[in-house]
Amino acid sequence: MKKNRGMSVGMTYAALIIGSVIMIFPFVWMLLTAFKTNAEVMQIPPTILPANWNLDSFVKATDLLPFGNLYINTILLIVGRVICAVVFCSMAGYAFAKLNFKGKNFLFTLVIVQQMIPGQIFIIPQYQMIAKLGASNTLFALIFPGIVSAFGTFFLRQAYLGIPDEVGEAAYLDGCNRWQTFIKVMAPLTKASVAALSVFTAVFAYTDLMWPMIVNTDINATTLSAGLSSLNGQFSTNYPVLMAGSLLAMLPMVALYLLFQKQFIEGVAMTGGK
């Protein structure tokens, strides 16, 4: 029996280690390739470690793409979308969960229906609206489709439903109006859900490709993801440069992930299903 358990633990470790190698290897290969020269990666048989760890590809990638702008645009996009999601979804989530007003069920049905429809169906008209406003290649254009979120509203409504009515009533009897009750008493109780929604919103904004690519075609006004796709288009045969560019684009989010790993994974697990 004991021996049996030892063997099954051993096999579990073996399987997890093999799996981890498969998960990590592409990133290691990206790193190693980025430090090689283009001539070296075309050698047969290939080298594993770079002959010289040279930074030429990084220099070239930063020449080809305005990484400073791309970082700033991506960060502002994430900050903008997270603020919008947290503020507007909290307000609506609280109202839908705790206040009674005429037409509430109808309006909430609207939210649910929107949440179920895939976003691609909105893209052409959203793009036309941005074009009509003359807002292409602006930060506003990047944030635009994420100003409100049906999913976020639904998700935070669940969080407010989880708070007993008595909590709000007590604050109300103490003389708070609805807004004060919301800000001072209720909102702080949804911290975990708000954090989860923020992580979800940030990761989505960072990984999204189609919207920034169509709406901000100016390379200086777009995001890291869309910038990478243009590098892929122009420089499709120089793999060290592509790998260096990919590495630069993924590092900030990976660094954040390593620092706040628990919040990331739990946040995504909480919002899971979307």
Interface of this chain with another protein, residues 154 to 183, rule: CB under 8 A:
177-179, 182
The reply on whether position 239 binds another protein by CB under 8 A is yes
DSSP letter assigned to residue 185: I
The reply on whether position 12 binds another protein by CB under 8 A is yes
Distance CA 274, CA 125 (A): 23
Q: Let me know if 14 is exposed, middle or buried by CB neighbors in 10 A (0-12, 13-18, 19+).
A: exposed
CB of residue 67 to another protein, shortest distance in Å = 13
Using the rule CB under 8 A, give the single segment among 58-66, 121-129, 133-141, 188-196 that binds another protein.
121-129
Within 47-86, the residues that bind another protein by CB under 8 A are: none
- Name the residue nearer to another protein (CB basis): 197 or 247: 247
Taking the CA atoms of 212, 217, 222 and 226 in sequence, report the sign of the dihedral they define: positive
Distance CA 182, CA 253 (A): 32
Using the rule CB under 8 A, give the single segment among 53-61, 63-71, 158-166, 219-227 that binds another protein.
219-227
Q: Which of 46, 52, 165, 174 binds another protein (CB under 8 A)?
A: 46
Report which residue type is found at 207. T
CB of residue 21 to another protein, shortest distance in Å = 9
The reply on whether position 193 binds another protein by CB under 8 A is no
Helix, strand, coil tally for the chain in percent (to 5): 80, 0, 20
